[in-house]
């Protein structure tokens, strides 16, 4: 899952990103409200962890803009404020959950899992791709109901390609999804993951095509 972390406390933002990446998620870290708004309008996210107090544009302003665009991505608000009125304002603006600082990382992860499950109820938990099924809730690829073991970066690569199934995905976008925006990696770092994933999927009628200089395209029956 691609998670955007929008928090001006860089130490906290990086700690959250480290924890989520360790769990196999892609994490994009942004520190400025205006820049985050532009990023979300351009790239989007599966889930957003959003601080209320941000430079340039507040978290509530960003959240309202997100909902006006029709973006229904789940949002967890982070704030040092504990007053009821602030929680109500956040929820009225379109937040799905609320976490008061300081908090335990385990609690944040639990809330992310809960919102992820809720999202999959709306969109369908399993998707057929060729001779396989992808369980989005469990983040597992299945053959005849039996899970196939995928390294976490290959799994993130598959999720990104599957989200844009039948469309060209640029190498830069795929790299950002797998490693996170701003990660100190070259865009060629994604190539080994795509290559290995292509070999794993080929026996099941799932093809990853390469458009040289442009990106990758996932094609599959089902």
Tell me the pLDDT tens digit for each residue of 162-212. Answer: 888 888 888 888 888 788 766 778 878 899 999 999 999 999 999 999 988
Q: Where are the alpha helices (DSSP H) in the chain?
A: 10-22, 33-42, 59-68, 84-92, 105-123, 152-163, 171-179, 191-201
Superfamily of domain 2-122 in the CATH hierarchy:
Response regulator (3.40.50.2300)
Domains of the chain, by residue range, sit at 2-122, 126-220
Parallel, antiparallel, or unpaired for β 146-148 and 140-143?
A: antiparallel
Assess whether pLDDT exceeds 80 at residue 105: yes
Task: Give percent of the chain with pLDDT exceeding 70.
Answer: 93
Topology (CATH) of 126-220: Arc Repressor Mutant, subunit A (1.10.10)
What confidence score (pLDDT) does residue 121 get?
A: 47
Name the burial class of residue 128, with classes exposed (0-12), middle (13-18) and buried (19+) by CB atoms within 10 angstroms of its CB. Answer: exposed
Q: For residue 19, give the DSSP letter.
A: H
Let me know: does 115 contact 96? Beta carbons within 8 Å: yes
Tell me the pLDDT tens digit for each residue of 43-100. Answer: 888 899 999 989 999 999 999 999 988 888 899 999 877 667 777 888 888 899 988 8
Q: Which residues of 30-41 are buried (b: 16+ CB within 10 A; e: fewer)?
A: bbebeebbebbe
Tell me the pLDDT tens digit for each residue of 119-142. Answer: 654 444 678 888 999 887 677 899
Residue reference for tokens 């959240």: 63
Neighbouring residues of 76: CB distance < 8 A, sequence distance ≥ 6: 47, 48, 49, 50, 95, 96, 97, 98, 99, 108, 111, 112, 115
| Nearest-angstrom CA–CA distance, 46 and 41 | 13
Structure tokens that stand for 7 in this block: 């928090």
Assess whether pLDDT exceeds 90 at residue 152: no
């Amino acid at each position: 899952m691609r998670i955007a972390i929008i928090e001006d406390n860089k130490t906290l933002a990086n700690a959250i990103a480290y924890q989520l990446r360790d769990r196999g998620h892609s994490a994009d870290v942004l520190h400025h409200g205006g820049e985050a708004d532009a990023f979300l309008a351009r790239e989007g996210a599966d889930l957003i962890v959003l601080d209320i107090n941000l430079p340039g544009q507040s978290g509530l302003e960003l959240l309202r803009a997100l909902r006006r665009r029709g973006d229904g991505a789940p949002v967890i608000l982070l704030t040092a404020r504990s007053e009821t009125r602030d929680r109500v304002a956040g929820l009225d603006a379109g937040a799905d959950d609320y976490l008061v600082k300081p908090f335990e990382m385990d609690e944040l992860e639990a809330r992310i899992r809960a919102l992820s499950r809720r999202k999959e109820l709306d969109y369908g938990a399993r998707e057929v791709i060729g001779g396989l099924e992808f369980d989005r809730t469990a983040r597992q690829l299945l053959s005849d109901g039996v899970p196939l073991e995928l390294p976490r970066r290959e799994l993130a690569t598959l999720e990104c390609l599957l989200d844009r199934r039948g469309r060209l995905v640029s190498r830069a976008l795929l790299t950002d999804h797998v490693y996170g925006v701003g990660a100190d990696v070259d865009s060629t770092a994604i190539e080994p993951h795509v290559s290995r994933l292509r070999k794993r999927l080929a026996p099941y009628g799932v093809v990853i095509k390469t458009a040289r200089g442009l990106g990758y395209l996932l094609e599959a029956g089902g």
